[in-house]
Amino acid sequence: MHDVILSLILLFVAAFSSLAARLMPVPVPLPLLQIALGVLGSIAGLHVALDPDMFMLLFIPPLLFRDAFHMPMREFGQLRTIIFALAGPMVLATTILCGYAIHWMLPPMPLPVCFALAAVLSPTDAVAVGGMLGTSVPRTIVHMLEGESLLNDASGLVCFRFATVAAMTGAFSLRGALTTFSLLSLGGIAIGIAVCLAAARLDKILLARGYDDPPTQITFMLLLPFAAYMSAEAVGCSGILAAVAGGMTIKLTGVLQETQITTRLQARTMWDMVGFIFNSVIFLLLGLQLPALATNGMALVRAADRSPWMLLLLIVAIHGAMCILRAAGLALILGIAAWRARHDHGVFRWPGWRGLLVSTVAGVRGAVTLAAVLSLPQAAEGVAGFPARDLLVTVSVGVILVSLLTASFSLPWLTRGLMDGMVDPQAREVSWARLVLVRTMLRAMRDEQQTLTTRAKTRDEAGEMRIEIIARLMQEYENRLNQLRRNSNGEASVAQITSIRRMRLELALRLNNLRTSRIELRNLRDAQYINDETESLLMQEMDYEEQVLRNRARSLPRVG
């Protein structure tokens, strides 16, 4: 089947899976549904040959760049010690200890091969369970998992690279491995920063000269993660860390905030589409590979004269061992962080045992594990393949599925009631920031009013009009300030509740007027009083106005 047709089919199934997930009577996590649809597609005759290098190049850089861009930098800085501990020592400890555990379960398998399997399973993919966590988990845990998944891909792949070399050549140098790891990591970070800093500088020069074309800006931004990744890989450094560092660099430069509003809105929509489509296609591709991988696994079991249940038991045992090691490592790292924060008056608190279990289960395996294990060399004529490659691929895919299933069915139970009685710090921060902004606008209006009052003798018609507009704006800002205020118990007064309800009614009427205007605009076009171009222009204005009104409605506090 032609590659273009395959791509269109995958896009259609990705869109269909999102609709099906909403229509199903029983809630099913979207990744699992997409894997199931991929399996059905493979059974129906849809086959896609997965090139690991092309897979890593096409999917990983934009997803990591997007996640790094959305990572809150303040929280990343506050949790940096925990994140780096999880992405570095935790991955190394998992590779070594789980490697020995796998060797104990499978004594015939050489120890370097066991290390390779443990290393490829060590990177987590918190994006896969992001939708399952939602708002039912403290933000600290979510930020910790996001930061970990951004960085541990690189460390896991470096460990995997050294383990595979040792398995195939029998040569390994700890000093050389640490040196190479440092060079790969620091080089990838430096290249990602350099590439994106240069792009941001060029973009600012173009913006200063008035060149701000949204399609061009967004296209260049979409190409940035690939440029950072490929530049780093070309010199033998970590392309993954280059994409992560590039995303954070673009965010810190603030270049996107200097573009026009159309560019920002369209860029946000574009990255949302990239995240949805690429994540969906990854799980569909995993499902498409499953029947063939399962068949190979069964063939391995029969060749060894073992029961298929033994393979399933091995997969579950490996996943269980990794969960135990992850829980122990998390308890140690988080315990030390909580102790240090308590003595240094820091902001981190022990998340509790339920929070520890959530963090353990949420460490699922995903796309990087799949791509890395499929990149192991296959035996060919005159060329030796990686030892026990088929077994490693089968076990790795099995652990990916088991981790996804475990997270899908246990996280809703573990997170139920976890936030009861707790105030969402982000919601509280948003409310406080809104108060500060409204007060700032009020202060600016008062200063302007006072300036105009002192110049009363020289006031003209424009000055009188300005005073009238300022008075009206101040009244609007005062009403908004009253809506946002709370008493000492965090409750709104009767007057505030009335004001909020009045504002909600006004917004509802404005939205209804927009809907009526859209109908009339369509009637004018149908009657050919206006053409399609005029309709499109006015419709776009209404869309922007409706977006503002809906944002205002969401910002209003909830009252009884």
- Euclidean distance between the first and final Cα of the chain, in Å? 58
At 84, which helix (H) or strand (E)? helix 80-87
Residue 234 above 90 pLDDT?
yes
Top mean pLDDT of 25-29, 329-333, 532-536 is at: 329-333
Q: Average pLDDT for residues 117-131, to the nearest whole number?
A: 77
Q: What is the pLDDT, as a whole number, of residue 493?
A: 63
Greatest distance between any 2 Cα atoms in the chain: 102
pLDDT bucket at 242, cuts 50 / 70 / 90: very high
Q: What is the pLDDT, as a whole number, of residue 458?
A: 58
Q: Higher confidence at residue 255 or residue 191?
A: 191
Residues 93/332, Cβ–Cβ less than 8 Å: no
CA distances from 87 to 192, 249, 518 (A): 18, 20, 52
Residue 26 above 80 pLDDT?
no
Would you call 380 helix, strand, or coil by DSSP? Answer: strand
Measured from the Cβ of residue 278, the count of other Cβ atoms closer than 10 Å reads 18
**Torsion 315-317-322-326 (CA) sign:** positive
Tens of pLDDT, residues 173-200: 667 777 877 888 899 999 999 999 999 9
393-416 burial by CB neighbour count: b if 16+ within 10 A, else e?
A: bbbbbbbbbbbbebbbebbeebbe
- H-helix segments, 345-424: 352-361, 367-374, 389-415
Residues in the chain, total: 560
Q: Average pLDDT for residues 118-144, to the nearest whole number?
A: 76
Residue 556 above 90 pLDDT?
no
d(CA 325, CA 329): 6
Residue 489 above 60 pLDDT?
no
Tokens matching residue 254: 């603030």
d(CA 393, CA 296): 9
SS3 content of the chain, % helix, strand, coil (to 5): 80, 0, 20
Tens of pLDDT, residues 291-348: 888 888 788 777 777 777 888 899 999 999 999 999 999 999 998 888 888 877 666 7
Residue 118 above 80 pLDDT?
yes
Q: What is the pLDDT, as a whole number, of residue 488?
A: 42
Phi, psi of 455 (to 5 degrees): -105, 35
Tens of pLDDT, residues 503-525: 888 889 999 999 999 999 999 98
Residue 490 above 60 pLDDT?
no
pLDDT bucket at 457, cuts 50 / 70 / 90: low
pLDDT bucket at 37, cuts 50 / 70 / 90: very high
Residue 204 above 60 pLDDT?
yes
pLDDT bucket at 233, cuts 50 / 70 / 90: very high
